[in-house]
Amino acid sequence: MGLLAPERLTALEEHANDVRQGIIRSLLAAGSGHSGGSLDMADIFAALYFHVLRHDPQRPDWPERDRLLLSCGHIAPVRYSAMAYAGYFPVEELLTLRHFRTRLQGHPERVSLPGLETTSGPLGEGLAQGAGMALAGKLDGAGWRVYVVTSDGEHQCGLHWEAMMTAAKFQLDNLTCIVDRNVIQIDGSTEDVMPLEPLTDKYRAFNWEVFECDGHDIGAFVATVEKAKQVKGKPQVIIAHTVMGKGVSFMEGDYLWHGKPPKQDEADQALRELGAARELIGAQRG
């Protein structure tokens, strides 16, 4: 956590809590959607939108922006919530998630919402799209980077591994893949459905630079990103170890929350827990 001053880290943790509360409210309003993965990536998306990324909410198409792709599009609520709190659109618009004619579709739709780089849906596509963008950036001599957020479950898709080979072949050191390693997919543990381990060894065998971190330790994640940015001649992967449903006690680690929203009483309890957690974070300011 040495890269972040204590006050900055506290601010980022507050942003992450806001993002989690936005997720709960939007899923309740939608009556459908994915709770678990959205909540467990809140710390990382807060770090990305409020510290790591080079971007401008007032100029979402700024040519020099970093590109952020969400390959596992079903956790769109976390991206929308982070974008709203970062200033891309009003926070109140989160309550239109999955509604008819909304800009906040169940999976991110590039033509609907400024600030999205791709339309995601079928799992396993994101890294291939990101590799293409990173290669284009290399050919253009651009200074921006490409970040691709993937789920661990979508590593069961063949296209992802083809993209890993492609990125290594072209030495795309401007490409960083972030893996949400919560070890859970819709039917249970990834290691029961289709084992991924030893995942780090597999990435290294494909000639990637591999990093691991606690996906809920914002300071550790930021420090890991900075290390990844220093790598030359190789794409990088950050395997972020997370807990599905992080921040809401009755959702944590339960695969049944992969693809369902909270009901009113569940949302009320979740928001009470998150509100109490935010007060504790604020108390750190002294």
Joined together, the tokens standing for residue 61 give 């198409």
Given a cut of 90, is residue 189 above it in pLDDT? yes
Instruction: Specify if 90 maps to a domain.
Output: yes
* pLDDT tens per residue across span 196-230: 999 999 999 999 999 999 999 999 999 999 999 99
Instruction: Specify if 12 maps to a domain.
Output: yes
* pLDDT tens per residue across span 102-148: 999 999 999 999 999 999 878 999 999 999 999 999 999 999 999 99
Q: How many angstroms separate the first and last alpha carbons of the chain?
A: 19
* Residue in this structure with the two tokens 């806001």, named with its chain if needed: 18
Q: Give the integer Cα–Cα distance in Å for 252 and 244.
A: 5
Q: Give the integer Cα–Cα distance in Å for 68 and 73.
A: 12
Given a cut of 60, is residue 2 above it in pLDDT? no
For residue 278, the domain's CATH number is 3.40.50.970
Mean model confidence pLDDT for the chain = 96
Instruction: Specify if 42 maps to a domain.
Output: yes
Residue-level pLDDT at 122: 86
Instruction: Specify if 1 maps to a domain.
Output: no
253: left (phi over 0), alpha (psi -120 to 50) or beta: left
Structural domain count of the chain: 1
Residue-level pLDDT at 270: 98
Instruction: Specify if 192 maps to a domain.
Output: yes
Instruction: Specify if 153 maps to a domain.
Output: yes
Residue 241's DSSP bridge partners are 181, 214
235 touches 209 (CB < 8 A): yes
Instruction: Specify if 166 maps to a domain.
Output: yes
Residue-level pLDDT at 121: 79
The helix (H) or strand (E) run that includes residue 266 is helix 264-283
Instruction: Specify if 194 maps to a domain.
Output: yes
User: How large is the greatest C-alpha to C-alpha distance in the chain, in angstroms?
Assistant: 53
Tally the C-alpha atoms within 13 A of residue 277's C-alpha that lie toward its C-beta. Answer: 19
Domain region containing 102: 6-283
